[in-house]
Amino acid sequence: MSTGKSVWYKAILLSPAVLISLFVFVIPFFQLVIFSFWRYRPSSNIPEPAFSLANYSHLLITEGSYYLGVYWDTIRIGFIATVIVFIVSYPLSWYIARQKGMKKGILILLVMLPMIGGGMIQTLGWIVFLMPYGVLNGSLRELGIIQSSLKLLGNDIGVIIGLVQSFIPVMVLPLVTALGSINPVLEPAARSLGAGPWKVFFKITFPLSLPGAIAGALLVFLSNITSFVTPLLLGLGKVQMFATVSYTMGVEVMNYPFASAFAFFPMVVILVGWLGFKNIKRLIHSKALN
Cα-based angle 26, 28, 31 (whole degrees, multiple of 5): 110
pLDDT per residue, tens digit, the chain (290 aa), is 556 567 777 778 888 888 898 888 888 888 888 888 888 877 777 788 888 888 888 888 866 678 888 889 999 999 999 999 999 999 999 999 888 888 888 988 888 887 777 777 888 888 888 888 888 888 888 888 888 888 888 889 999 999 999 899 999 999 999 988 888 888 888 888 787 888 888 888 888 889 899 999 999 998 898 888 889 889 888 888 988 988 888 888 888 888 888 888 888 877 777 777 777 767 766 665 55
pLDDT of residue 65: 76
CA-to-CA separations, 19 to 11, 27, 28, 268, in angstroms, rounded: 11, 10, 13, 25
Q: What backbone phi and psi angles, to 5 degrees, belong to 92?
A: -65, -45
Judge whether 11 and 3 are in contact, CB under 8 Å: no
Judge whether 146 and 184 are in contact, CB under 8 Å: no
95 located within any domain? yes
- Is 0.95 topped by the overall pTM? no
Q: What is the domain extent for residue 209? A: 38-289
8 located within any domain? no
pLDDT of residue 40: 84
State the Cα–Cα distance between residues 220 and 170, nearest whole angstrom: 6
Helix-then-strand count for the chain, H and E: 14, 0
9 located within any domain? no
148 located within any domain? yes
Judge whether 181 and 164 are in contact, CB under 8 Å: no
283 located within any domain? yes
Taking residue 136's Cβ as centre, other Cβ atoms within 10 Å add up to 17
The burial class, CB within 10 Å (0-12 / 13-18 / 19+), for 249 is buried
92 located within any domain? yes
What does the buried/exposed string (b/e) look like for 10-31 if buried means 16 or more CB atoms within 10 Å of the residue's CB? eeeeeeeeeeeeeeeeeeeeee
pLDDT of residue 59: 83
Q: What CATH number corresponds to the domain at position 217?
A: 1.10.3720.10
pLDDT of residue 5: 66
pLDDT of residue 142: 83
150 located within any domain? yes
CA nearest to 249, candidates 17, 14, 40:
40
> Can you tell me whether residue 39 is helix, strand or coil?
strand
110 located within any domain? yes
pLDDT of residue 89: 94
Domain count of the chain?
1
Which are the contacts of 111, defined by CB distance < 8 A and separation ≥ 6? 92, 96, 168, 169, 172
Cα-based angle 11, 14, 16 (whole degrees, multiple of 5): 115
pLDDT of residue 288: 57
pLDDT of residue 4: 58
